[in-house]
């Protein structure tokens, strides 16, 4: 059983972590770029290019949501941190008929479905397994019949290999990176949790940490039981993988890709 108040603490660190890192990287990373358009292309590859109603969880600066709007989709983005301020600026370009931002916690925010697609990039795994199942049940309820969810999931094997790493990211003002940063990575092998700590070298005592639960595809299948969702496929980089096939020796999942994209459908879809 989780300790009382642990959910609130998870939301507190998440808001602080993504707000502060958002301030570090806003100039360099808040515009619509190749990664955002690549995510749109990925949805089109899985679901087809026809206009859809899309829900993006943890939409950050709103740049990927804006790329979906540019491609003709109707998008609702949900963001807890102060990155939502930049997302709202993106939304103003399209108007509420095309792009809308909800500034809040997507575990509790009032968002009206149904959606043809729900997407969650680079953030699934905050909190306990019970929290993930609660979110997955919300996603299943948001999806229209035959809808699809695309969820980035942290790969435990690669994060375990990064345990003990310490990186220096130098400032690059010409590209919009104005802070020299340190990143320290640890991995908890009992809870399968990535512990990712950052600090500005100018403020070494002011460190922030995100803790993200990692799931192998097999663990993800177990997590999905009873949520109304089923694992339909995997994308590792740009390569689609059949979850039922033999992947012994797969270098991408063993050593190279720190996350994979899970393609989820509603049970019986």
Is residue 126 domain-shared with residue 227, that is, in the same domain? Answer: yes
Structure tokens, 96: 């509420």
At 4 the pLDDT is 42
Do the domain assignments include residue 1?
no
Up-side HSE of residue 33: CA atoms within 13 Å toward CB?
7
User: What parts of the chain have a pLDDT lower than 70?
Assistant: 1-5, 268-269
Is residue 50 domain-shared with residue 76, that is, in the same domain? Answer: yes
As for how many domains the chain has, the answer is 2
Its domain, for residue 122, covers 6-156+215-266
CA distance 269 to 100: 28
At 1 the pLDDT is 36
Q: Look at residues 173, 188, 211 and tell me which one is the last residue of a structural domain.
A: 211
Is residue 143 domain-shared with residue 220, that is, in the same domain? Answer: yes
Is residue 207 domain-shared with residue 219, that is, in the same domain? Answer: no
Is residue 54 domain-shared with residue 185, that is, in the same domain? Answer: no
CA distance 183 to 167: 5
At 144 the pLDDT is 97
At 267 the pLDDT is 77
Is residue 152 domain-shared with residue 186, that is, in the same domain? Answer: no
Name 264's bridge partners: 149, 231
Is residue 83 domain-shared with residue 145, that is, in the same domain? Answer: yes
CATH number at residue 137: 3.40.50.150
Do the domain assignments include residue 75?
yes
CA distance 130 to 107: 12
Is the separation of the CB atoms in 266 and 228 below 8 Å? Answer: yes
Is residue 172 domain-shared with residue 70, that is, in the same domain? Answer: no
Residue 159 CB burial class (10 angstroms; 0-12, 13-18, ≥19):
buried
Is residue 53 domain-shared with residue 180, that is, in the same domain? Answer: no
Is residue 90 domain-shared with residue 152, that is, in the same domain? Answer: yes
DSSP-based three-state secondary structure for 17: helix
DSSP string computed for 36-94: HHHHHHHHHHHH-SS--EEEEES-TTSHHHHHHHHTT-EEEEEE-STTHHHHHHHHHHH
At 268 the pLDDT is 57
Backbone angles phi, psi at 52, to 5 degrees: -135, 165
Do the domain assignments include residue 228?
yes
Is residue 71 domain-shared with residue 130, that is, in the same domain? Answer: yes
């Amino acid at each position: 059983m989780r300790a009382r108040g642990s959910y609130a603490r998870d939301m507190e660190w998440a808001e602080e972590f993504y707000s502060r890192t958002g301030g570090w990287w806003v100039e360099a990373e808040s515009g619509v770029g190749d990664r955002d358009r690549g995510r749109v292309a990925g949805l089109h590859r899985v679901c087809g290019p026809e206009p859809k109603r899309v829900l993006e969880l943890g939409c950050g600066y709103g740049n990927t949501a804006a790329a979906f709007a540019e491609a003709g989709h109707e998008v609702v983005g949900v963001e807890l941190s102060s990155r939502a301020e930049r997302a709202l600026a993106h939304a103003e370009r399209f108007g509420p008929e095309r792009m809308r931002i909800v500034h809040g916690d997507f575990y509790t925010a009032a968002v009206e479905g149904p959606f043809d697609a729900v997407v969650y990039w680079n953030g699934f795994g905050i909190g306990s397994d019970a929290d993930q199942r609660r979110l997955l049940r919300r996603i299943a309820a948001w999806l229209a019949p035959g809808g699809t969810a695309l969820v980035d999931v942290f790969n435990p094997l690669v994060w375990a290999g990064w345990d003990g790493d310490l990186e220096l990211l130098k400032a690059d003002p010409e590209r919009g990176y104005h802070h020299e940063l340190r990143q320290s990575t640890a991995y908890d092998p009992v809870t399968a949790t990535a512990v990712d700590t950052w600090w500005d070298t100018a403020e070494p005592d002011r460190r922030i940490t995100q803790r993200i639960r990692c799931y192998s595809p097999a663990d993800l299948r177990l997590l999905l039981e009873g949520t109304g969702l089923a694992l339909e496929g995997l994308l590792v980089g740009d390569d689609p993988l059949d979850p039922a096939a033999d992947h012994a020796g797969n270098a991408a999942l063993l050593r190279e890709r720190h996350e994979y994209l899970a393609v989820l459908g509603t049970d019986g879809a």
